[in-house]
Structure 1
Amino acid sequence: MARKSFIQGAVILGIAGIIIKVLGAFFRIPLANLIGDQGMGYYQTAYPIYVLFLTLATAGIPIAISRMVSERIAVDEYSEAHKVFRVSFILLFIIGITSASICFFGADLLVGAMGNPGAKFAMMAIAPALLFVPMQAAYRGYFQGMQDMKPTAASQVIEQFFRVVAGLFLAYFLIKYGRDLAAAGASFGATAGAVGGLITVVAIYLYKRGKLEANIERTKRHQSEKSSTILVKIFIIAIPVTIGAAIMPIMNAIDVGIVMRRLQETGWTYKAANSMYGQLTGMAGPLINFPQVLTQAVAMSLVPAVAAAYRQKDMTFLRENVQVGLRMSIIIGLPCAFGLMTLAEPIMLLLYPMQKQSAISAAPCLFIMAAGVIFLSTVQTLTGVLQGIGQQMIPVRNLLIGAIAKVIITYTLTGVEAINIKGAAIGTVAAYIIAATLNVVAVKKYTGAKFDLMLTYIKPFIAALAMSAGAWITHRILFGIMGNAMATIIAIGIAAMVYCIMLFITKAIKKDEIERLPKGKTMIRMADKFKR
């Protein structure tokens, strides 16, 4: 297989991620305004449990599929790559049935253990999604292994579209029957989306089937790997990845119990504690997930690219991908972090005008969590690198160390009345700082990659600092003239322009890297004309 950079795939997944998050905003923001922080408390109690089971079902196996398929295609073994897909699909189907059954029939027990029994119907409504999403994951992992990110991107966008439409419609229809049922209606959106996404990726597979089968027949061997051998290899890769991916959802699930109980122990009522938790996870949390989806696109594209280079022993190309991957994550993460910190309260008031007091209360949590975006970006990207070179246990260990620190810090600080819910946000940031630092050390050790301090960190930092100043000044000037909403929107637009200009002024992006982007050569020609 010819050398293939991960950048094109990362851009495709990144664009899909932006569309998904925009659609998500059309879901989360109206939903929070519709069902309030109490309803979001129910929704956010069921959702972390769903994410935990989903992580156990799909986090590791698609990565294993992607890596194993990429390694085989790198040496022209398309038939063996397809067998990996078939075996993993059966495995994921079985896991999906089991996970969905546990969450549906055990809903009472699960939400009761979390101390929020009102979330029962939300848990039952979201459970069927656990059957359909794993089946999607098998197809996505197969295409990602071929470094074809378009099927994944298309199915993700369709999945989110159906989730938004179905979830909001049902929440609106059921709100008259109570906030618990409205939260259940919103949760069912995930199930509707999973069905839509599965239909999409299967249709793409059938469309590409002719070309796939031609490659399979051309490379078919009389004696191929046994299914049992493939399963063992999948588990060797998938189990550590799954454990690592499950650590933070487990910590978030534990957060529910810690935060709810510790807040009540310091004098807050159950209703107040539930509302504060809804502000943290339902109002501030989704904004932190926006940059995360972009850096996750980088990580997902890195795994097959790094795995193929590692299989071919092309260490020069591997290091190049690692260096560019980390720089991309920093370039994405820094402006998101600085922007959210600078405009924390204005953004919250812009997004939640019908819940003004809750938005103001959630702003300090957003400010704190925004600082963690930079480190989360690093964690995700370098985890993809380590997984690609077969060192999947290392990011597990590093994140576990960070997660233990998070539990200790969250338990301690949420018990301080003056800090309260902000303690959970501080704990999360601390976890990402620790994991990011340890991942950088590990990647340097196992790949030999060296990171240019000026190019990787300082130049993007200068650009982000200038952007932050531009956003703050713009908002301060315009706030008294046109109010918060328009001032915030214009400030964000100005900030984006300032950051892009500063990246070029500081030369934080190399010319050859821009050329690898879709329409990159056109962008270079336009930039050259602008200079003249």
Structure 2
Amino acid sequence: MLLVSALVTKIIGAVFKLPLTNLLGGSGMGYFSCAYGLFLPVYALSITGLTTAVAKLTAERSALEDYAGVRRILRLSLYCFTLIGLLGTGAILLLAKPFCRYVAENPDAYLSVLVLAPAILLGCISAVFRGYYEGLRTMYPTALSQLAEALAKLLCGLGLCRYALTHPAVVLRYLPDGTTPLAAASAAAVLGVTLSCAAGTLFLVLRHVCVGDGISPDMRRGKFSPGDDRALYHALFAVLVPVAAGSLITNLTNLIDLATGMHCLHAAIARAPGAFADRFAGNAGQDPAALANFIFGSFSGLAVTIFNLVPSMTNMFGKGAIPAIAAAHARQDRKAMQQDSAAAMLATGFLAFPAGMGIAVLAQPILQLLYPHRSGEILAAAPALGWLAPGVIFLALTFPLFSMLQAAGHARTALRIMLIGVCCKLAGNLLLIPLPQINIAGAAASTSLCYLVTFLLSLYAYRKKTGVRLGVMLFAKPAYGGMLCAAGAALSYSLLLGRLGNTLALPAAICTGGCIYLFAMWLMGIRLSTLREHT
């Protein structure tokens, strides 16, 4: 259910992000990405770990048939994390201006950051309900609320952005002096994201009030003393703090790109100003700051958008495995942990390998198909997307490993591993981006290196901590099939391009590669019916 929801949500998200990028271009997406650069770390601290923590505790109490404790977890979580959401919103409001001016070196993004602040509070409330129902193994609330958010973002975000671009005089009348039409349009698009969070939260609250969780009064056995509240808070934060910190470090890769990317791009442009001006003058003029914002916006708006599609869908396998592995761990059922872990990793690899390898060989055609009128942005983003392609695979495989480590009570291990990966990311950015011949592609290469390191360390740690063995052959078959898929897609694209053009040749090549992959997996004994049974 989560996978289907994620797939539909990502399709809707692509329908939102693709025209949005075409509307705003590289410079406008620079403002949009700056807002997310500050938003995501705060979001991770207050929200991302919360869903995992609530789901884990709820699954454990439910496995023990302690339904009074299940209800108590929901109430205490709502009280506590509404307060945390208010603090997160306040942090965004306070840090917006100094962050945009002194860290991101992009002061025009200030309005985009401000309008995103209320999403922290709304996200905290929705995260509690999602974790609660996921812990009860009811995935419909999470799935349907994600769909509600995606639809609201599509309608509100694109509608408001288009209105701001077509009626700049009306919009700028209510904004501070000096605001540019492009910065106003970016803020309007971000406001659509905030409204989408409100739609998802409203859906979850109404569903809980009208439908409920299925726990009857007869099922709630046992009384809780005042001391039990403290014990529940302690257990909740024992999971939340390391998970949220690990998620924060994961999102710090985006913040590192924002903090170092613009600064290092300035250094690269200063070393070879003529080369950059010749390539991008028609899009960003001769101003070095505008050039850096344009290149960074092209990278974050085009390449990173495609990079995030596959891991965000395969992440559902890890989320779906959390209740099962947490319950098996509570029962000390090693066989169930082995089966559930292997199923989650196999399903993830089944999607990740062909997608990542296909992106590697078809990076520029994909961008040309999705952004046909943005040749300057494609020129900046295509090399970076090629370097990001290996990271698609490693990040997708790392997500379920982190979820399983967290479900087995080893969240701090995931935190330490991600910290090592972030150090690799920071070093790679500082060394590679200032080189004019590499520039923003250095951020992509360091991202792939970061997630390669985290995947290998996570695989080793999960085996050492839990005794669950995830053999090499689990990944060998999807990897081999992915190579055949990529080779078939690249060959068919080169043969069809001259006859059909990019618009028809690329979908035909993708379909050809997909058929080759499914046939190869069938020959190796991995079938879709088998995957459905395991997952």
Q: Structure 2 CA distance, aligned partners of 1:324 and 1:206? A: 35
- How has the CA–CA distance of structure 1 residues 344 and 201 changed in structure 2, closer, same or farther, with 3 Å as cutoff? same
Return the offset for 1:174.
Answer: 0.8
- Residues 418-442 of structure 1, C-alpha deviations (whole Å, 9 max, x = no match): 1111111111111101111111111
**2:264 corresponds to:** 262
The partner residue of 1:80 within 42, 58, 69 is 69
Return the offset for 1:471.
Answer: 1.1
Q: Structure 1 CA distance, aligned partners of 2:148 and 2:33? A: 23
Return the offset for 1:85.
Answer: 1.2
**2:252 corresponds to:** 250
Native 8 Å contact 2:253 2:447 kept in 1: no
The partner residue of 1:54 within 23, 43, 58 is 43
**1:196 corresponds to:** 199
State which drifts further: 158-167 or 321-330: 321-330
**1:474 corresponds to:** 492
Q: How does 1:385-404 map to 2 (within 5 A)?
A: 385-404=404-423
Question: Does 1:365 find its partner at 2:354?
Answer: no
Q: Structure 2 CA distance, aligned partners of 1:154 and 1:259? A: 36
**1:173 corresponds to:** 163
Q: How does 1:64-213 map to 2 (within 5 A)?
A: 64-113=53-102, 114-176=104-166, 177=168, 178-209=181-212, 211-213=214-216
Q: Structure 1 CA distance, aligned partners of 2:369 and 2:529? A: 37
Native 8 Å contact 1:80 1:224 kept in 2: no
Question: Does 1:515 find its partner at 2:533?
Answer: yes
Native 8 Å contact 1:104 1:128 kept in 2: no
Native 8 Å contact 1:298 1:381 kept in 2: yes
Q: Structure 2 CA distance, aligned partners of 1:334 and 1:367? A: 14
The residue type equivalent to 2:194 in the other structure is T
Q: Structure 1 CA distance, aligned partners of 2:259 and 2:212? A: 48
**2:432 corresponds to:** 413
Native 8 Å contact 2:347 2:531 kept in 1: no
- How has the CA–CA distance of structure 1 residues 488 and 289 changed in structure 2, closer, same or farther, with 3 Å as cutoff? same
- Residues 208-263 of structure 1, C-alpha deviations (whole Å, 9 max, x = no match): 3272244653x243647622221111111110111110013223213212111112
**1:25 corresponds to:** 14
Number of aligned positions between the proteins: 504
Normalising by structure 2, we get a TM-score of: 0.91
The residue type equivalent to 2:118 in the other structure is P
Q: Structure 2 CA distance, aligned partners of 1:97 and 1:428? A: 32
- How has the CA–CA distance of structure 1 residues 505 and 215 changed in structure 2, closer, same or farther, with 3 Å as cutoff? farther
Q: Structure 1 CA distance, aligned partners of 2:145 and 2:75? A: 19
Native 8 Å contact 1:263 1:420 kept in 2: yes
The residue type equivalent to 2:231 in the other structure is T
The partner residue of 2:394 within 363, 371, 375 is 375
Q: Structure 1 CA distance, aligned partners of 2:227 and 2:208? A: 23
Return the offset for 1:202.
Answer: 1.8
- Residues 336-393 of structure 1, C-alpha deviations (whole Å, 9 max, x = no match): 1011111100000001111122113311111110111111122111101110110100
Return the offset for 1:512.
Answer: 4.9
- How has the CA–CA distance of structure 1 residues 215 and 261 changed in structure 2, closer, same or farther, with 3 Å as cutoff? farther
Helix, strand or coil: the match of 2:32? Answer: helix
Q: How does 1:216-365 map to 2 (within 5 A)?
A: 216-217=219-220, 219-221=221-223, 223=225, 226-266=228-268, 267=270, 269-365=288-384
- How has the CA–CA distance of structure 1 residues 105 and 405 changed in structure 2, closer, same or farther, with 3 Å as cutoff? closer
Question: Does 1:437 find its partner at 2:426?
Answer: no
The residue type equivalent to 1:411 in the other structure is L
**1:499 corresponds to:** 517
Normalising by structure 1, we get a TM-score of: 0.92
**1:423 corresponds to:** 442
Native 8 Å contact 1:323 1:451 kept in 2: yes
- Residues 21-46 of structure 1, C-alpha deviations (whole Å, 9 max, x = no match): 11111111111111111000000011
Q: Structure 2 CA distance, aligned partners of 1:514 and 1:258? A: 43
- How has the CA–CA distance of structure 1 residues 381 and 222 changed in structure 2, closer, same or farther, with 3 Å as cutoff? closer
The residue type equivalent to 1:388 in the other structure is A
Native 8 Å contact 1:105 1:124 kept in 2: no
Native 8 Å contact 1:330 1:460 kept in 2: yes
Native 8 Å contact 1:82 1:216 kept in 2: no
Return the offset for 1:78.
Answer: 1.1
**1:453 corresponds to:** 472
Provide structure 1 residue ranges, at least 5 long, that are not aligned to the other structure.
1-11, 518-532
Native 8 Å contact 1:348 1:360 kept in 2: no
Q: Structure 1 CA distance, aligned partners of 2:83 and 2:511? A: 47
Q: Let me know the Cα RMSD of the aligned residues.
A: 1.6
The residue type equivalent to 2:492 in the other structure is T
The residue type equivalent to 2:130 in the other structure is R
Helix, strand or coil: the match of 1:353? Answer: coil
Native 8 Å contact 1:78 1:215 kept in 2: no
State which drifts further: 344-353 or 93-102: 93-102
- How has the CA–CA distance of structure 1 residues 446 and 185 changed in structure 2, closer, same or farther, with 3 Å as cutoff? same
Native 8 Å contact 2:25 2:298 kept in 1: no
Q: Structure 2 CA distance, aligned partners of 1:212 and 1:320? A: 29
- How has the CA–CA distance of structure 1 residues 16 and 391 changed in structure 2, closer, same or farther, with 3 Å as cutoff? same
Q: Structure 1 CA distance, aligned partners of 2:218 and 2:361? A: 52
Helix, strand or coil: the match of 1:498? Answer: helix
Native 8 Å contact 1:45 1:256 kept in 2: yes
Q: Structure 2 CA distance, aligned partners of 1:153 and 1:314? A: 29
Helix, strand or coil: the match of 2:215? Answer: helix
Native 8 Å contact 2:141 2:204 kept in 1: yes
- How has the CA–CA distance of structure 1 residues 148 and 106 changed in structure 2, closer, same or farther, with 3 Å as cutoff? same
Helix, strand or coil: the match of 1:226? Answer: helix
Q: Structure 2 CA distance, aligned partners of 1:187 and 1:216? A: 44
Return the offset for 1:325.
Answer: 1.5
**2:28 corresponds to:** 39
Native 8 Å contact 2:161 2:188 kept in 1: yes
- How has the CA–CA distance of structure 1 residues 198 and 472 changed in structure 2, closer, same or farther, with 3 Å as cutoff? same
Q: Structure 1 CA distance, aligned partners of 2:443 and 2:236? A: 35
Q: Structure 2 CA distance, aligned partners of 1:225 and 1:448? A: 35
Q: Structure 1 CA distance, aligned partners of 2:350 and 2:87? A: 40
- Residues 126-158 of structure 1, C-alpha deviations (whole Å, 9 max, x = no match): 111112111000000000101111110100111
The residue type equivalent to 2:55 in the other structure is S
Q: Structure 2 CA distance, aligned partners of 1:225 and 1:62? A: 24
The residue type equivalent to 1:143 in the other structure is Y
Native 8 Å contact 1:319 1:447 kept in 2: no
Native 8 Å contact 2:303 2:385 kept in 1: yes
Native 8 Å contact 2:299 2:380 kept in 1: no
Helix, strand or coil: the match of 1:212? Answer: coil
